[in-house]
Amino acid sequence: MIDLNHTASFAEIVTGLIDTALVAEEATSPRREYLGGSRLGVACERALQFEYAGAPRDEGRGFDGKTLRIFAAGHLFETLAIQWLRAAGFNLVTQKRDGGQFGFSVAKGRIRGHVDGIIAGGPLEVPMRYPALWECKSLNNKSWNDTVKRGVTLSKPVYAAQIATYQAYMETAVPGISANPALFVAMFHASHKNLAATGATISVATLGTARKSMGTQTGVDGQTIINVRPAFIIVPAALEVTAEQLLAVNMVPAKSTDVVPQSLRTLTVIAEPRLDAASDKSWYMSANPGQIDTIEYAYLEGQNGVYIETRVGFDVDGVEIKARLDFGAKAIDWRGLYKNPGT
């Protein structure tokens, strides 16, 4: 039955506006004058021909707003993966000295590719040969498990072709890269115990599952239980009221099965509107940084805050004030973080 009286909710209105803006922005992006190396594995040669020729897409066949949000989230995840791998001891190089990406151009510029990174070295205990190509793809748990089970070639043939193409054409610039296996990284995976197996809404049960996963995290030796305790629940603006209602201290449940344990009510709700652009359903839990390092911020040594200089004005009647803040932040460990994709 069609609901002709449906009225869009606040979240639907905002999400719709964001999606419309992203689609409009995508439409103004300049067309590639070449075929990307990441596309050569597409099975349909006619599709690649149309793509290279710049044939207009059929109505409704372009990327929708939701897909564009997923792409944007993937770029953020890649940045985190780079930080984590470097923190783990990998010498991961993602830019040339001039700031550009590593890449190649063949067939008089008609085919080009840009790699995510080159791993020049790593921890001794990791059985890898260097240099190695590094490609980062954000996959959900089901997709990643299929990749592990069947291998990249069968599970993700387009990715496999991309890797092989990059290894072949990057050999001249990075000798040895074609002989060494590439490192294919998924950002979130159940093996880290920081990703729910299935998405679910915020509830006592799902919070309990998240707390258990964090509590059974192990140290760098993979054996010692470090008992990470969640202190914060981080949600998009769309889930702020839901989280506050569940954890409210002045709510009196009608039956015992609805009781929220006091240990969960101590969680602090953090609503971050910028999460809505990627997903208005996913939610996260984080440990107190006093227990385990998660996201670390730092100032320049000796300047723990805004640095201010003043002088009496010469060109103007008054005092000139100059303020500078040097601040950096970095995610350094995944053990103190947990994600549920929501539903």
Residue-level pLDDT at 89: 92
CATH of the domain at 49: 3.90.320
| pLDDT tens digits, 201-241 | 999 999 999 999 999 998 866 788 999 999 999 999 999 99
Residue-level pLDDT at 266: 92
Rounded to whole angstroms, the Cα distance separating 174 from 186 reads 24
Q: Domain span at residue 164?
A: 10-187
* Pair (109, 153) in one structural domain: yes
Rounded to whole angstroms, the Cα distance separating 217 from 335 reads 7
* Pair (18, 160) in one structural domain: yes
Last residue of a domain, one of 187, 218, 251: 187
Is this model's pTM higher than 0.75 or not? no
* 221 assigned to some structural domain: yes
Amino acid at 293: D
Q: 313 burial class (0-12, 13-18, 19+ CB within 10 angstroms)? A: exposed
Question: Does pLDDT of 342 surpass 80?
Answer: yes
Cα 308 → chain centroid: 35
* 5 assigned to some structural domain: no
Residue-level pLDDT at 111: 87
* Pair (174, 35) in one structural domain: yes
Question: Does pLDDT of 185 surpass 60?
Answer: no
Residue with tokens 């723990």: 304
Last residue of a domain, one of 139, 170, 187: 187
Q: Is 280 helix (H, G, I), strand (E, B) or coil?
A: coil
Q: Is-cis flag, bond preceding 261, omega within 30?
A: no
Rounded to whole angstroms, the Cα distance separating 162 from 172 reads 17
- Count of domains forming the chain: 2
